[in-house]
Amino acid sequence: MLKTITQENNILIILSTIILNYILFLSSSLLILIKLNFILFIFFTLYYFFKYEKNKFLILFLLALIVISLGIPTDSWDARSIWLFKAKEFFYDHSIISIKNNYAEFSHNNYPSIAPAFAAGLSTLIGYWNEIYPKAGLTFMFIPPLIIISRFFDNNFFLISISIILFIIGKFLVNGELDGLVALYFVSSLIIIYNLKNLNNDIFYQCLTLIFFLIILSLLKVEGIVLLLCSFIGSMLIFYKKKYLCKNLIISFFVSIIPVLIWNYFCIYNNIGNTNSNYIFDINDFNNRILYLKNYILIFEYLLLNEKFLFSLIVFLVSTIYIKNKDILIYVSSISLIYILFLFIVYLSTPLDLEWHLNSASRIIKPIALFLSIFSLYSIFNKQHKI
Amino acid sequence: MMSFQNNNKIKFILVFLIFFQLFYIANKRLAFKTEIFKNSFLKDFGSEYVMTKDILELKEITNDLKLEKFNISEKLSENVFFFQRSIEFLYPIKIDKKSENTFFSSEEEIPNNCIILNQYKHLTLAKC
């Protein structure tokens, strides 16, 4: 039976175990299925690497990430107080529904929680909790996007892409925070979308893979939903003339957004979230800041003068000038600009002190920095292969 | 360009660069320790690297006394680090404002309406 599983099916199975793990945590009586599902994730990941993955560097890179993740203390605030605390709650309560109690509001109970559920799945399989290994569950989630990167880049180009990922995402690959996952799921989804134009058949599997990637992206962090919407708008701009592709993309995006809409409905219906009024966005804050130039300068400074974003932007501009790939230029710049515009609106509306809130800017801009760099490399790679 | 993609010298440089980046992230950006890696799957391991002594003591006491819920003093609640870390670290034991078992810092004065149950190195347990 295993022989009938194609490479595409294998990737789909790995992705579906991540989503299924989240679904199984909806009930507190499915512990055996959660364990079985996690074993399936490990089995099909190993099977994929054994049968299909010829890129030894990818395997070595993943092993290195897991070793580092298991050898560092979990000490950053977001990792401890939000993501791994949720994982701990799910592990002990055997369910994500217990979040209805809104215990420990500071941990933002209304944030989507597919990644903590996956870490809780690993802990459920192991059978006990500690302060170190559960974050390796989050590192395991890097496997599908890294497989996608490996499928689209060969040899030295793959190594450059890994070096770029290490430069831009860095410690967020292993420290229990989710910004690295958001960036990689976002970029992998965009690579899949961009390549749909090169496919004559097999579009069903690619759209299904895309749906799974987008579902996970939207359930990782709040900005995942925004990135999903930006991807949708950017994709429509380059594919609007290809009706068949457009139809498939519209269906994919609408299917992908359903789970996160259900999650948000569940949170609103049960009044889950941070009830501290200091954290609630208010139009008055936006109105008070919008007319002052100094606010724009401050946001610009934190968001766009970030060294990783600047590096990526320069690389992208240089590659655009030399490669002259109009499609990539429209695709990358439209998605990036929409997201940056959204970030400006969010920061202008923040109920918190603007400068304090802007401390998150270097993390929030990572998906776009990685997007610019990887697509610059991709346009060079495509030119070489004349795709 | 074709030679670039498969060039072994470039491959060697890139592998070295990636190794250097991983080493930098593990050792300079994060505090990688082989002893953590070796013990990473031990039950309840790892708290000593991130928790302060008073929070470690709080967990030990609540475990020994088999408390399911406890309360902490106003002063300890105002200490954001203590408050949040004790919630995370002690879970599934929960902080409950209605619980009579209240922990105070050992430097705090205990209110008159509370009876001291025990004094520990960093904390005092009282019934309020």
ipTM summary value: 0.92
Please answer yes or no on whether B14 and A160 come within 8 Å at the CB atom: yes
Residues in chain B whose Cβ is within 8 Å of chain A: 1-2, 4-7, 10-11, 14-15, 17-18, 21-22, 25-26, 29-34, 36-37, 39-47, 49-50, 84-85, 87-89, 91-92, 94
Interface test with B, best of A92, A126, A130 (most B CBs within 10 A): A130
Nearest CA in chain A to B81: A77
Sequential DSSP letters for A133-151: THHHHHHHTTHHHHHHHHH
At B34 the pLDDT is 95
> What pLDDT is stored for residue A45 in this prediction?
96
pTM listed for this prediction? 0.95
Whether residue A163 and residue B36 make contact (CB cut-off 8 A), yes or no, is: no
pLDDT at A280: 67
**Distance, CA of A250 to CA of B118 (rounded, Å):** 65
At residue A83, the pLDDT reads 96
| Long-range Cβ contact pairs of A350-358 (< 8 A, separation 24 or more) | A350/A281, A350/A285, A351/A277, A351/A278, A351/A279, A351/A280, A351/A281, A351/A282, A351/A285, A352/A278, A352/A279, A354/A289, A354/A295, A354/A298, A354/A299, A355/A298, A358/A298, A358/A299, A358/A302, A358/A303
CB A213 within 8 A of CB A188: yes
Nearest one of A229, A226, A207, A225 to A216, comparing CA atoms: A225
**Which residues have C-beta within 8 Å of that of residue A117, sequence separation ≥ 6?**
A21, A22, A25, A86, A87, A90, A96
**Contact status of A85 with chain B (Cβ, < 8 Å):** yes
The answer to whether residue A38 scores a pLDDT higher than 70 is yes
Q: What pLDDT was estimated at residue A209?
A: 95
Whether A384 has a pLDDT exceeding 90, the answer reads no
Cα distance from A130 to chain B (closest Cα, Å)? 4
Identify the three-state secondary structure at position A157.
helix
B70 strand-pairing partners: B95
Residues pairing with B104 in the sheet: B124
Question: Tokens at residue B119, please?
Answer: 């004094």
Length of chain B equals 128
CB atoms within 10 A of CB B24: 14
Instruction: Find residue B105's DSSP bridge partners.
Output: B123
Residue B24 banded pLDDT, cuts 50, 70, 90: very high
Both tokens assigned to A364: 């929030």
Query: In chain B, where do the E strands start and end?
Result: 69-72, 94-95, 101-105, 115-119, 123-127
User: Using one digit for the tens of pLDDT, what is the confidence trace for A277-319?
Assistant: 566 677 888 888 888 889 999 999 998 888 999 999 999 999 9
